[in-house]
Amino acid sequence: MTNHWIDLKNSDVILIMGANPAENHPVSFRWIMKAKDAGAKLICVDPRFTRSASKADVYAPLRSGTDIAFLGGMISYILQNNLYFEEYVRNYTNASYLVNPGFKMPGDLNGLFSGYDPKKRSYDPKAWSFQKNADESVKKDPTLQDPNCVFQLLKRHYSRYTPDMVSRITGTPKEKLLEVYKLYASTGKPDKAGTSMYAMGWTQHTVGTQNIRTMTIIQLLLGNIGIAGGGVNALRGESNVQGSTDHGLLFHILPGYLPVPSADLKDLAAYNEKYTPKSKDPQSANWWQNRPKYITSYLKAIYGAKATKENDFGYAWLPKLDPGMNGSWLMIFDNMIKGKFNGFFAWGQNPACSGTNSTKVRNALAKLDWMVTVNLFDNETASFWKGPGMEPAQVKTEVFLLPAAASFEKEGSISNSGRWAQWRTAAVKPLGQSKADAEIIHELYQKLKALYVKEGGALPEQLTNLTWNYGFKRADGTIRAIDTHLVAKEINGSFLEDVEDKPKLKPGEKPPPTPPPWAPRKLLGKKGELAAGFAQLQADGTTSCGNWIYCQSYNEKGNMMARRVKKDPTGLGLFPEWSWAWPVNRRIIYNRASCDPNGKPYNMKKAVVYWNPNAVLPDGKLGAWVGDVPDGPWPPMANEKEGKKPFIMRADGLAAIFGAGMKDGPFPEHYEPMESPLAKNPMSGQMSNPAAKNFSGTGIKEDAFAANDGKFPLVATTYRVTEHWQTGVMTRNTPWLLELQPRLFVELSPELAKEKSIKNGDMVEVSSARGKVDAVAMVTRRMQPFKIGDKVVHQIGLPYCFGWSTPGVGDAANLLTPTAGDANTMIPETKAFMAAIQRKG
């Protein structure tokens, strides 16, 4: 979330699309209802009429997998009707940038952008470059009139997304489209806020990242980023998935969104060179220029005294990806089924149920020598060898199930979608032999380290050199029990030596004379002190920090995450002293964009921050931001000498309407899902995302596809329900919740039911090219057929929270879903695929 949960109450229009918060984030509706009480309008766009839709002022149905078309139409509507926030777009986005004149778009190239290489299935981003001035700065047209400027290109690109065209793709009635567009575009006024709530309904597509990009462009056009009640808000699906992503959950990022190095970056200097963006623009804060400080502090945190300047702070020990290597979830199982893995830790996860194309996952697990599962309960993964279709005697995989403690049984922080790290104490002791994850990891580490020390092996230093100061140490160096507070302190970071507070020099400025040795030294921090914030981190190895974005969370003032003060000085629900939010307790990120270039809030009634030019700072300087923690202390942009642009994490300080860093095009373009009901993309000759990884025809029998195939004529999607959580391992084992949703069902329209002679409550078989599941038919008016061109397309949906290990609930809906990944993130496309339905018996 750019914003946070409570901030929903500040919205004027809330767009729920690709999410179902009433069911999956019910507490968010506390704040949505408060917004509605204050007159806000709620829009819900979903293939199904959900519990969220039941509270919407406007509900619009759309066919699964057509969100870009829907939103592209909105961009077009906003531009055609001049409903965008012109000043915001001009000052805070790259709309004025001039793109090289050779750049071509899908309208010109039948669905492709310039620079596409069909053999590699990828783009050369050089084809999307900006026009440069002699001094390497980008050429701009502040009037936004140049035909090659981003704004005009945007207008041209989305002029193809007419309401008629969009309706033909999405199946949404045209009047509904226009109703949504008109309502949402009303937030383009400076004092209006529109927010977007999305979740897996947007991400789990082969165009997932571009779905979100489309909304981001809308939010930028309407000036909805950085303001109260605005933003692009990802509703995270697990209570701490934000925290685990922050701390390096994904294969390609280290804690704090530092890229995982690839093997061709031989030393830290090469790494820093590649990943530290440069900007000559004095108005750009270019915050990632600090990357060397963060990676060095990270290396110091994990390797401690072993990391020295001489050995590149242990950079060599960091695990590396092969250049261009894709280590994503889909590839893990793709490689596993090809026999490329010996062992596997399924830690707090249930891939045999949650993994798309679960048959492939289950068969892949059978190729392992061993697997360790760490979970609260037995599940489809731990017991995959005795699951449906498995011959236990034939499965060689040795499985270990380690019982883990539940979140209520251990102390630590949980980071919610709004980036709040909230400290929790243990409510009860772990049951039986179950242990907290940290304890299990600790034990594993001790055993492995002992083995490496005794027996050696490949790259022992990666393990033996790790710092492990997580508890009271016995004489032999072992730890009695893991102290979570020490982990939190390591994450926060500390001073390893006394660090002097050296004044920052402006280019050309002379350093002050060296003070005499007897003069008192002005220290930034003393050795052993916890760092107060990431601005104190150093690139020379004098500080350590496990995750720079969490620096400040546990400092000398105490555990900021444990704060529970209910003070709300702005009245906007920022609650700055309730827990702690990364970065530096900022509750709404990019909040400088909520003000005009002079620092005056666009909406005085809901001012997140404002520039007070008369505030006197301790060093005697004038001017300060008031309100939320701003994105840096510098004055607003209008101050030509010291002012900074608001989007500080971007090298140029501006939000990117033109996304030159994307793998599948700088502007989002509608492509059909990998499995589509249509013979042809109504938009262009390019059927599916040209840059998405293609798993068809690789010889793996589990990877079957059925696009535009009469045998599988139904658009299907998967989802969660309030009553079960993820694959249901916890909730299926909670009888109270199984009482509410006792088994797998499939939702379908009365029209489809009639066609297939299915009655409500009948047992049906739902199948796809990859598998089949038995489900109870839920025939409901909440589902409706879509008119796509001349064709009637039926949509069905199933929850994915069930699995065979709970008796009588049915098996995983992910047995149906395909192995297809988004071009940028490789997230699987589980939200739009083709299926068939048939009454049983």
Q: Can you give the binding site for another protein, defined by CB under 8 A?
A: 22-23, 26-27, 29-30, 33, 49, 51-55, 61, 173, 176, 721-723, 735-745, 749, 751, 760-762, 776-782, 784-785
Strands (E), 105-216: 116-117, 122-123, 194-198
Residues near 127 by beta carbon (within 8 Å), at least 6 away in sequence: 100, 102, 103, 113, 114, 115
CB 481 within 8 A of CB 471: yes
Instruction: Please give the full DSSP string across 801-839, using - where no structure is assigned.
Output: ---TTSTTS---GGGS----B-TTT--B--SSEEEEEEE
Sign, CA torsion 60/61/64/65: negative
User: Which CB sits closer to another protein, 486 or 776?
Assistant: 776
CA distance 659 to 645: 18
Query: Which CB sits closer to another protein, 694 or 805?
Result: 805
**Distance from C-alpha of 372 to C-alpha of 363, rounded to nearest angstrom:** 16
Our CB check for another protein shows the closer of 37 and 135 to be 37
- Residue 274 has which token pair? 């590649």
Residue placing its CB nearer to another protein in the complex, 762 or 765: 762
CB atoms within 10 A of CB 308: 12
Closer to another protein by CB, 173 or 597: give it.
Answer: 173
- C-beta of 143 vs 760, nearer to another protein: 760
In the complex, minimum distance from the CB of residue 358 to another protein, in angstroms, rounded to a whole number = 21
* Least Å from the CB of residue 27 to another protein: 5
In the complex, least distance from residue 232 CB atom to another protein, rounded to whole angstroms: 23
Nearer to another protein, 176 or 306 (CB): 176
d(CA 659, CA 824): 12
Taking the C-alpha atoms of residue 673 and residue 65, their distance in angstroms, rounded to an integer, is: 6
Residue 172 vs 603, nearer CB to another protein: 172
67 touches 202 (CB < 8 A) = yes
Least distance in angstroms from the C-beta of 729 to another protein: 17
H or E element, residue 158: helix 150-158
104 versus 839: smaller Cβ distance to another protein = 839
583 prior amide bond cis, ω within 30: yes
Q: How far is the CB of 722 from another protein (least distance, A)?
A: 5
Shortest Cβ 751–another protein spacing (Å): 8
Beta carbon of residue 49, minimum distance to another protein (angstroms, whole number): 5
Q: How far is the CB of 749 from another protein (least distance, A)?
A: 8
Are the beta carbons of 410 and 430 closer than 8 angstroms?
yes
Beta carbon of residue 78, minimum distance to another protein (angstroms, whole number): 25
In angstroms, give the least distance from the CB of 5 to another protein. 11
> For residues 27 and 475, which CB has a smaller minimum distance to another protein in the complex?
27
**295/316 Cα distance (integer angstroms):** 13
Q: How far is the CB of 409 from another protein (least distance, A)?
A: 17
CA 639, CA 583: separation in Å to the nearest integer? 25
The least CB distance from residue 52 to another protein, in Å, is 7
From residue 506, alpha-carbon distances to 135, 294, 485 in Å are: 20, 22, 39
| Phi/psi of residue 218, nearest 5 degrees | -60, -45
Between 518 and 736, name the residue whose CB sits nearer to another protein: 736
The set of residues, in sequence order, having a beta carbon less than 8 Å from that of 221 and lying 6+ positions away, is 75, 78, 79, 84, 85, 89, 188, 657
Which is nearer to another protein, 23 or 497 (by Cβ)? 23
Q: Are 114 and 104 in contact (CB under 8 A)?
A: yes
Q: What count of residues does the chain have?
A: 841
Residue with smaller CB distance to another protein, 595 or 721: 721
Compare residues 567 and 781 and give the one whose CB is closer to another protein: 781
Beta bridge pairs of residue 130: 99
Residue with tokens 């007419």: 162
Minimum Å gap between C-beta 741 and another protein is 7
Q: How far is the CB of 283 from another protein (least distance, A)?
A: 44
- CB contact burial 429-451 (16+ within 10 A = b; e otherwise): ebeeebbbbbbbebeeeeeebee
Cα separation, 488 vs 551, in Å, equals 10
Do residues 574 and 628 make contact, with C-beta atoms less than 8 angstroms apart?
yes
Do residues 185 and 625 lie in contact, with contact meaning Cβ atoms separated by under 8 Å? no
Q: What is the dihedral of CA 69, 75, 77, 79, to 10 degrees?
A: -150
- Nearest CB to another protein, comparing residues 54 and 137: 54
